[in-house]
Structure formats: structure tokens, C-alpha cells
Amino acid sequence: MKKVAVQFKEKNATDIKITAPGSIGGMNDFLAGSCDILMSSSNLLPPHARLAEEKGINIKAFLLGYDIIVPIVNPGNGVTNISLGQLKDIYTGKILNWSELGGENALIEVIHRDNNSGTCGIWHRTIAPATHQESASLVSNSSVLAAIAENENAIGYISSSFLNSEIKPLKVDGIDIGNQKTWTENYPIKRPLFLYVDENKFTETVKTFIIYTLMNEDVKKIFHGRGFFSS
């Protein structure tokens, strides 16, 4: 979105300031009137919907596309495939040792995202509504990547757009991320990416930016280049 904002400024002479406090933090700012457009990887939650109604905010969502959430381990970890059920058991504390998954006899160190994260929200809804107490909570995809890269016994999860050579993505139920068609159609852990606006404050500038983001071919190339998938 920062690249989109730069392109938009070049074409429209309008500054778009981008901040990234996480989906829930962004929603709080949006409802407080601190921003004109909300980027979110989370559907509107009931408490936010109620607050919006109380404040007379008429929220409209624009779907950009989808992001895949990938469980990751250190490249030195011998496990390559995991079932959705095993992931749930790891994050609820039922599976505690890599040997239960065909790996080394070592305790699994569980890494989570913090509760302000849309990534954390989709993980809670898909994998585990509550996480056992031994897990570590980190504030960003980058911090999860760094932790996994340094620890052969850790497991975490990130947006597919952040994958790099320092970590290893796990297949889930045998689905390989190399096959994007199978991945996007059948992969069980994915989330929508939205832009939210208040229809009561849908100014010409906001409208122009939304249309530009949704329709411009250069923006679509940026979107796909970052590892996201169109709606």
C-alpha cells in the first residue's frame, strides 16, 4: 500500500499517509476518526460493528483479494508436512514434542502473533480459539521470521507475502505452496484483505484512491508481486 500511495501521489498530487498498527489497532483508529481509510485483514468484528452503529459510522468494505497464512519452521527442522489437526493440537498444547510429528525428540516452542494482528485473528478462528500458555507472542511478521530463523525447535505462522529463504514453510495436509492453483483453491488458512471507508465521509479524494487501488493494472502487479491473490 505504501507503493500504491507513492504512485497515486505521482498521478494525483495527493499525499496518502500509511501506518500499520495491525488490523484491530487500525479499526480502533478508524472508529475514532483518526484515518479516512482502513486497511484490514480481518472481517468487521461484532464489537466494532456495534460501536460504528452507535457513532453513526456507515462502514463500507472493498475486497482487494486474499492472503495465505503459512505455518513455518526453521530449515534445520526435519518436519515438512503437517495436518490441520496436528496444527490445532500444537497450538492448544496437545502435541508438545516434534517426535510426535516424525521429527527430533525436542520440545516444540510455539510462537504466536499479538492480539492486535489480523493474522492472529484468522489463526484463532481457523486453528485454535485459545493458545496454551507456553507460547510466545510477537508483534509483527518480521519478528516471527527472525525468531524462527534462530530456533530449530520453534513453529510460527506468517503471511505468505513474507516468506524468505531463512525459514521453511510447512505443507498443510500435503498442499505445497509451490502449486499456487491448488494452494489458493484448497488451502485451509487464508484471509480476505479489505479497504474500509465511512460512506458518510466518502470524499472525492477517498473515492478516487479506492478506485485507483482496485482498478489500476500497475497496482495489481504490485499486489501480485507481494504474494497476494486477487479476488
Residue 129 in grid coordinates: 480459539
- The pLDDT > 90 percentage for the chain reads 58
**Backbone Cα Rg of the chain:** 19
Which listed CATH number (3.50.50.60, 1.10.10.60, 3.40.190.10, 3.20.80.10) goes with 2-66+190-230? 3.40.190.10
- Exposure string over 7-25, b if 16+ CB within 10 A, otherwise e: bbeeeeeeebeeeeebbbb
Lowest mean pLDDT among 66-80, 114-128, 148-162, 211-225: 114-128
pLDDT at 36 exceeding the cut of 70: yes
- With 0-12 / 13-18 / 19 or more C-beta atoms within 10 angstroms meaning exposed / middle / buried, residue 78 is exposed
First to last CA, the chain: 17
To which H or E segment does residue 159 belong?
A: strand 154-159
Q: Is the CATH code 3.40.50.150 the one for domain 68-186?
A: no
pTM of the entire structure? 0.72
Q: CB neighbours of 75 closer than 8 A, spacing ≥ 6?
A: 166, 167, 168
**60 three-state secondary structure:** strand
To which H or E segment does residue 207 belong?
A: helix 204-215
In this predicted model, what pLDDT tens digit does every residue of 126-147 receive, in sequence order? 887 766 656 677 878 889 999 9
Every domain of the chain and the residues it spans? 2-66+190-230, 68-186
- CB hemisphere CA count around 85 (13 angstroms): 2
Same fold, 2-66+190-230 and 68-186: yes
In this predicted model, what pLDDT tens digit does every residue of 190-225 receive, in sequence order? 888 999 999 999 999 999 999 999 999 999 888 888
